[in-house]
C-alpha cells in the first residue's frame, strides 16, 4: 500500500490543483446527500489524478485537466442493488459535472466487501495502490492490501489490456481512412496511438510480474527488461512517448502524414508484443495473425459450463450456435481483432467466419468493425 499522493498532477499549476481539489469537494458533498450515512463507506478518486499523475493540458489561458475524473463510490451491500437504488442520481451528477468541467466525470459503484473478497485484477491493483480518499477514512482500503502485489495480476489481464488498446488502434485506423477527417478525428487518433504506445510496455511488465501503478516507475522497469525476441528499442521509445502524452497530452499537434506513419509503426510492433504475450500466456506459437485467429481457446480462465449461459443472456439462442458455443464472448473479439487490425487483406474472404465470431451477419470490413465495436463495448 502506498501513501496518498499530495498532488493530482506532477507539475500542473496551483490553479489546476485547486480546481480539481474543489471539484472533489463539491462532488463529495453531492454524493453524501445521495447515499445515506449508514450505507456510505467512502468516495475514492482513482485514475491518473488519484495516483498523482493526471494529465496537464496547456492552453492559452493556463493549465487544464485532460483525463477523466474516475471516482469509486463504496456503498455497503450488493453493488448491483446499490446501482438500482442510487444509480440514477449518481449518473445525473456525472452528467452535470461533466458539462461543468468539460472533461468526463465517471463513477463506479463498488463495496468494500466486494473489494476485499475479489481476486486481484489490474483494475483493483491500480485502485488500491494509487488513489485518493476524497470522503471517508484514509485507511478504508487497509483490508485490501492483498491487491497490492503486481505478481498476482493474472496473465489474461495483460491480454485484456492489449485487446483494448489494440482496439483503439483499429478504431483509429478506421478514422484515418476517412476522406473528410475532422480535428476531432485527428485528436482521437493521436490519443489512441499514445495509449497503445504506453500499453505495449505495460503488457510486457504485467506478464513478467513487474507492473507498477506509476507510469514513471513502469518506464524505469521496462528499461531493465531482457527479452531478445521483442523490439525493445522501439518499445522503450514508444513507452517514453506514451508516458509524455499521459502527463502532458498534446492533441492536434501532429499532421495526418505523421499520424499515419506512427500508427503503422506502432501497429507493427503491437503484433510482436501480442504474439509474445499470447505465447507466454497460452503456450501457443503463432507466426501470423491468421494462425492466431483460427487457433484454440483464448479464454481458458473462464468456465465452459457458465459460458453458454453468458452467451444466451447476451445474444439469445444464436449465441449457442457455431464453434464458440462454449467459449466466452471475448474470444470472438480476440480472434476478430487479429484479422481486422493486422491482416485486413484476409477480411473479405472471411466474412462468414467473422459473422460467427461477432455473432452478427457482416458482409464487408466496415460492417465488421462496427459489429466488433458493439461487441467490444459489452465485453472489453
Contacts of 87 (CB under 8 A, 6+ apart): 109
pTM metric for this prediction: 0.93
Find the DSSP H helices in 77-207: 79-101, 112-117, 122-129, 155-176, 183-207
Q: Are residues 112 and 140 in the same domain?
A: yes
According to the model, what pLDDT value does residue 284 have? 87
29 and 127, same domain (yes or no) = yes
Backbone angles phi, psi at 132, to 5 degrees: -130, 130
Same domain? 153 vs 261 = yes
6 in any annotated domain = no
Residue 4 lies in a domain: no
Structurally, how many domains does the chain consist of?
3
43 and 140 share one domain: yes
In a domain, 334, yes or no: yes
pLDDT tens, position by position, 7-49? 999 999 999 999 999 999 999 999 999 999 999 999 999 999 9
Mind listing the pLDDT tens digit for each residue in 190-224? 999 999 999 999 999 999 999 999 999 999 999 99
Q: What is the pLDDT of residues 35-45, one digit of tens each?
A: 999 999 999 99
Mean pLDDT across the chain? 95
Let me know if residue 238 belongs to a domain.
Answer: yes
Residue 134 sits in the same domain as residue 29: yes
CB 192 within 8 A of CB 245: no
DSSP 227-276: -TTS-HHHHHHHHHHHHHHHHS--TT-S-HHHHHHHHHHHHHHHHHHHHH
Q: Are residues 52 and 104 in the same domain?
A: yes
Q: How confident is the model at residue 1 (pLDDT cuts 50, 70, 90)?
A: low
Q: Does residue 224 lie in a domain region?
A: yes
Which domain, by its residues, includes 122?
14-147
Output DSSP code: residue 72: E
Amino acid at each position: 500500500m502506498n501513501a496518498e499522493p499530495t498532488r493530482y498532477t506532477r507539475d500542473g499549476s496551483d490553479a489546476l490543483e485547486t480546481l480539481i481539489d474543489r471539484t472533489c469537494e463539491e462532488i463529495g458533498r453531492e454524493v453524501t446527500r445521495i447515499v445515506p450515512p449508514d450505507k456510505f463507506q467512502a468516495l475514492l478518486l482513482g485514475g491518473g489524478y488519484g495516483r498523482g499523475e493526471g494529465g496537464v493540458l496547456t492552453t492559452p489561458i493556463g493549465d487544464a485537466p485532460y483525463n477523466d475524473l474516475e471516482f469509486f463510490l463504496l456503498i455497503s451491500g450488493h453493488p448491483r442493488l446499490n446501482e438500482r437504488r442510487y444509480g440514477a442520481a449518481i449518473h445525473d451528477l456525472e452528467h452535470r459535472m461533466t458539462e461543468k468541467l468539460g472533461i468526463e466525470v465517471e463513477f463506479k459503484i463498488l463495496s468494500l466487501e466486494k473489494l476485499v473478497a475479489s481476486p486481484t485484477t489490474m483494475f483493483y491493483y491500480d485502485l488500491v495502490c494509487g488513489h485518493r480518499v476524497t470522503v471517508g477514512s484514509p485507511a478504508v482500503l487497509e483490508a485490501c492490501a492483498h491487491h497490492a502485489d503486481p505478481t498476482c495480476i493474472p496473465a489474461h489481464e495483460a491480454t485484456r489490456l492489449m485487446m483494448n488498446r489494440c482496439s483503439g488502434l483499429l478504431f483509429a485506423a478506421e478514422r484515418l481512412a476517412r476522406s473528410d477527417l475532422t480535428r476531432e478525428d485527428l485528436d482521437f487518433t493521436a490519443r489512441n496511438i499514445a495509449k497503445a504506445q504506453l500499453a505495449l510496455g505495460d503488457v510486457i511488465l504485467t506478464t513478467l510480474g513487474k507492473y507498477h501503478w506509476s507510469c514513471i516507475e513502469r518506464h524505469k522497469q521496462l528499461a531493465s527488461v531482457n527479452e531478445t525476441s521483442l523490439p525493445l528499442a522501439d518499445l522503450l521509445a514508444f513507452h517514453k512517448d506514451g508516458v509524455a502524452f499521459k502527463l502532458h497530452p498534446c492533441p492536434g499537434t501532429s499532421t495526418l502524414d505523421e499520424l499515419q506513419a506512427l500508427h503503422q509503426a506502432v501497429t507493427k510492433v503491437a503484433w510482436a508484443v501480442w504474439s509474445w504475450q499470447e505465447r507466454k500466456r497460452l503456450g501457443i506459437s503463432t507466426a501470423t495473425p491468421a494462425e492466431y485467429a483460427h487457433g484454440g481457446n483464448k479464454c481458458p480462465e473462464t468456465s465452459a459450463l457458465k459460458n453458454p449461459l453468458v452467451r444466451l443472456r447476451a445474444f439469445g439462442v444464436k449465441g449457442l450456435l457455431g464453434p464458440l458455443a462454449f467459449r466466452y464472448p471475448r474470444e470472438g473479439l480476440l480472434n476478430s481483432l487479429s484479422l481486422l487490425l493486422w491482416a485486413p487483406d484476409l477480411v473479405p474472404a472471411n466474412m462468414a467466419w467473422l459473422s460467427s465470431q461477432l455473432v452478427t451477419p457482416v458482409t464487408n470490413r466496415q460492417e465488421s468493425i462496427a459489429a466488433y465495436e458493439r461487441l467490444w463495448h459489452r465485453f472489453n
